[in-house]
């Protein structure tokens, strides 16, 4: 199937070109990255200034993740009904407003309200951007989803250092306010140029590694399939461990006595935590197009097995030898490298399995697994407070990653092969076993 066939009558010139639209989506994703990956910079300063328990502060992070994920099915439906432009614009407004609210929060409920706004706004941007990439690139779904998710993973790498400096020099409230305005404004402007793809072709696309459905499943049909729920459980397992590290890397570095150790980074002397976060976010972004491309070549489940196993090894390293500054940086980077993969692979496998027509809302339902996994983030702080160390939290994350790695290879892969054979009626050949 050619690109023109895949995109139907969509204009391929100017800003309507699908590559240009992909780039616009990546930029918008970069503007919401700090809502998640910059959060850890604010936890300790908020705790020190306001005196709130860290576990209570992390509830705001969980609220953000829950609303950013669990509301995406509604947002996906709105995109399909009203088009991507108004939903992206509303997302930009809420993204900017959320950090402005955080900058003024004098009570925990107000901080939680900021997390709620961030989640709704971030979900509007995330769901719209990923859904459009899945529809525009049925021929390169893994790498397109990967590049879109790259913006969310690596976007924070561009701003971690200036945010860290601003938090240190002017206080966390100034950083919240200024960057809230910048991020929201950029999304609002870009939203004016986002177009709706016109996918009219109806054909199955099959490569040696991946089969794509010739049937367009509605959300109701999809939710009745066992294969969807196996995907969902695997997503929850790997997201839970990854989000623990994302939210807690700052407190962990501080408890290990590493956070303020001076490190040379591109000729500058910076605190270890700042260096680690910058590298982490680069890895978290880089892995998304990379693993998306790999999954296009060797298959979705095979890529999952490799990367989820890597996350297990990295968690074990942080627990056992992570007190070394160099090993802490390496292992935390590997966690982010493995964790970021899910945001390319799961959208791709969702589009492959359930068809392109309803890809935005179908992927949104699967994406809610990230919110389910986020429920365990405050538990990590509770385990640390009750045991006096991070070992229990690392053990839980390690076990989750091992279970997800084995489940992808020995449960999901054979299940999907059988499911395609039963449902496609011979219209799509199966990819070669590997």
pLDDT tens, 356-367?
888 888 999 999
Tokens 């070394």 identify what position? 324
Which among 150, 200, 198, 158 has a CA at the least distance from the CA of 179?
A: 158
Query: How far apart are alpha carbons 171 and 217 in whole angstroms?
Result: 49
Both tokens assigned to 335:
């966690």
Q: What is the pLDDT of residue 207?
A: 56
Q: Is 251 exposed, middle or buried (0-12, 13-18, 19+ CB in 10 A)?
A: buried
Q: How many other C-beta atoms can be found within 10 angstroms of the C-beta atom of residue 81?
A: 9
Both tokens assigned to 144:
């397109």
Is residue 433 over pLDDT 80?
A: no
What is the CB-side half-sphere exposure of residue 221 using CA atoms within 13 A?
10
Is residue 257 over pLDDT 50?
A: yes
Residue 431's pLDDT band, with cuts at 50, 70 and 90, is very low
Q: What is the pLDDT of residue 199?
A: 57
Q: Is 180 exposed, middle or buried (0-12, 13-18, 19+ CB in 10 A)?
A: buried
> Residue 80 — φ and ψ, nearest 5°?
-65, -30
Q: For 148-192, what is each residue's pLDDT tens digit?
A: 988 887 777 778 888 988 998 889 999 999 999 999 999 999 999
Residue 211's pLDDT band, with cuts at 50, 70 and 90, is confident
Can you give the residue ranges of every domain in the chain? Answer: 10-195+218-422
Both tokens assigned to 228:
């969807």
Residue 1's pLDDT band, with cuts at 50, 70 and 90, is very low
Q: Is 261 exposed, middle or buried (0-12, 13-18, 19+ CB in 10 A)?
A: middle
For residue 203, the surrounding DSSP H or E stretch is none
Query: How far apart are alpha carbons 348 and 130 in whole angstroms?
Result: 10
Q: What is the pLDDT of residue 301?
A: 96
> Residue 268 — φ and ψ, nearest 5°?
-105, 150
Q: Which stretch of 69-78, 276-285, 313-322, 378-387 has the lowest confidence by average pLDDT?
A: 378-387
The whole-number average pLDDT for the span 99-128 is 96
Query: How far apart are alpha carbons 233 and 214 in whole angstroms?
Result: 25
Is residue 267 a contact partner of residue 244, using CB atoms and an 8 Å limit? no
Q: What is the pLDDT of residue 140?
A: 80
Q: What does CATH list as the number for 10-195+218-422?
A: 1.20.1250.20
Query: How far apart are alpha carbons 69 and 339 in whole angstroms?
Result: 16
Q: For 328-368, what is each residue's pLDDT tens digit?
A: 999 999 999 998 899 889 999 998 899 888 888 899 999 99
Is residue 6 over pLDDT 50?
A: no
């Amino acid at each position: 199937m050619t690109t023109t066939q895949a995109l139907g009558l969509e204009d391929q010139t100017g800003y309507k070109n699908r590559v240009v639209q992909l780039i616009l989506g990546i930029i918008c994703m970069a503007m919401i990255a700090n809502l998640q990956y910059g959060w850890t910079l604010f936890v300790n300063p908020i705790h020190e200034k306001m005196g709130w328990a860290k576990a209570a502060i992390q509830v705001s992070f969980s609220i953000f993740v829950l609303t950013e994920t669990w509301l995406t099915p509604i947002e996906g439906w709105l995109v399909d009904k009203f088009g991507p432009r108004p939903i992206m614009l509303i997302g930009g407004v809420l993204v900017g407003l959320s950090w402005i609210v955080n900058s003024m929060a004098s009570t925990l409920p107000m901080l939680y309200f900021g997390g709620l706004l961030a989640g709704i706004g971030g979900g509007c941007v995330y769901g719209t951007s990923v859904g459009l990439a899945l529809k525009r690139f049925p021929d390169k779904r893994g790498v397109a989803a990967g590049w879109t998710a790259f913006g969310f993973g690596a976007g924070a790498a561009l701003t971690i250092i200036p945010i860290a400096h601003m938090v240190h020099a002017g206080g966390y409230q100034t950083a919240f306010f200024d960057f809230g305005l910048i991020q929201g404004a950029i999304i609002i402007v870009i939203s004016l140029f986002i177009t709706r793809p016109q996918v009219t072709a109806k054909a199955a696309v099959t490569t040696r590694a991946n089969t794509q459905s010739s049937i367009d499943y509605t959300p109701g049909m999809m939710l009745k399939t066992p294969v969807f729920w196996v995907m969902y459980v695997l997503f929850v397992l790997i997201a839970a461990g990854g989000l623990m590290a994302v939210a807690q890397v700052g407190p962990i570095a501080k408890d290990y006595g590493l956070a303020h150790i001076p490190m040379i980074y591109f000729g500058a002397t910076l605190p270890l935590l700042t260096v680690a976060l910058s590298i982490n976010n680069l890895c978290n972004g880089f892995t998304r197009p990379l693993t998306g491309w790999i999954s296009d070549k060797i298959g979705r489940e095979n890529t999952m097995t490799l990367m989820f196993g890597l996350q297990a090894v990295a968690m074990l390293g942080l627990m056992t030898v992570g007190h070394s500054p160099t090993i802490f940086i390496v292992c935390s980077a590997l966690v982010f490298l493995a964790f970021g993969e899910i945001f390319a692979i799961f959208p791709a496998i969702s589009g492959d399995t359930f068809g392109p027509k309803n890809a935005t809302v179908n992927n949104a339902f699967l994406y809610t697994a990230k919110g389910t996994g986020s429920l365990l983030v405050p538990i990590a702080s509770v385990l640390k407070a009750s045991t006096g160390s991070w070992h229990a939290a690392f053990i839980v994350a390690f076990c989750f990653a091992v279970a997800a790695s084995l489940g992808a290879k020995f449960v999901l892969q054979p299940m999907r092969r059988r499911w395609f054979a039963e449902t496609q009626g011979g219209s799509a050949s199966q990819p070669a076993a590997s």
